[in-house]
Amino acid sequence: MKKCDIGHENADEHRYCSACGLQFPPDEVVLVRPSPTVSAEEERLRLAALVGADILKKRIERIVVLMQENRSFDHMLGYLSLRPSKSIKGQPDGRGRSEGLAKVDGLQSGMFNPGVHREKVPIRALESSVFFNNPGHQVTRVAAQINRGEMNGFVLDFYDVLANSCGCARDYESAGNIMGYYTPGNVPVYDFLASHFTVCDRWFSAAPGPTPS
């Protein structure tokens, strides 16, 4: 009988221990006999998952999750999908986006929101990492911003927020700043982390409104 990593003497021919779920040590050579009820492709995928899990268990010591509060993904890291055709190591990959970041669900060229005068207000790179005016976080504000999933009410709602903040009409062009996004130069630390670690681009708030308590 082969032993698993813990020492159980009931590991089967598939490098798997039914007692603890661990595998044989990597240097063990084990003959795998495909089950007659499992297709070759299913067996290959199962064994690949087991070997991958074994490698992860031995190489990963800790997992750290960094979550930003009150910042949208497009605002903080949306630029990742706008990068030129360069891989993380600086070699061209020919995909039109960064290798490893090609599938980031971020900003796309040509995105816009309608403005106060029904003009198109496009996304824009921010010059500073400081965003002076606070957009509305209330449930009613967020509902107006996402507008039943159309995602086209951000400029109009921000203009209303700016006008209410001073009790007067504000320069409607200032409302366009809500379409601003940070660049790698604005957030160099986050840019490094995003280029070398996992990025969660579909992690939404539990509720469309102020930070849940």
Q: How many domains does the chain have?
A: 2
The mean pLDDT value for 70-79 works out to 89
The mean pLDDT value for 65-84 works out to 84
> Do 7 and 97 lie in a common domain?
no
The span from the CA of 113 to the CA of 120, in Å, is 6
**What pLDDT, on a 0 to 100 scale, did the predictor assign at position 207?**
82
Alpha-carbon Rg for the chain, nearest whole angstrom, is: 25
b/e code 33-47 from CB counts within 10 Å (16+ = b): eeeeeeeeeeeeeeb
* pLDDT over 60 (residue 37): yes
Percent of the chain with pLDDT over 90: 28
> Do 5 and 91 lie in a common domain?
no
Q: Is residue 132 within 8 Å of 180, Cβ to Cβ?
A: no
Q: Decide if 176 is inside a domain.
A: yes
Range(s) of the domain holding residue 147: 73-196
Percent of the chain with pLDDT over 70: 59
> Do 77 and 33 lie in a common domain?
no
> Do 49 and 126 lie in a common domain?
no
* pLDDT over 50 (residue 77): yes
The residue type of 76 is M
Q: Decide if 55 is inside a domain.
A: yes
Determine which of 12-16, 68-72, 146-150 has the lowest per-residue pLDDT on average. 12-16
> Do 29 and 4 lie in a common domain?
yes
Q: Decide if 210 is inside a domain.
A: no
The model carries a pTM of 0.63
What does the mean pLDDT of the chain come to?
74
Q: Is residue 199 within 8 Å of 104, Cβ to Cβ?
A: yes
**What pLDDT, on a 0 to 100 scale, did the predictor assign at position 41?**
67
> Do 93 and 178 lie in a common domain?
yes
> Do 106 and 182 lie in a common domain?
yes
Categorise residue 70: left if φ over 0, alpha if ψ from -120 to 50, beta otherwise: left
For residue 180, give the nearest of 67, 76, 69, 68 by alpha carbon.
76
**What pLDDT, on a 0 to 100 scale, did the predictor assign at position 57?**
67
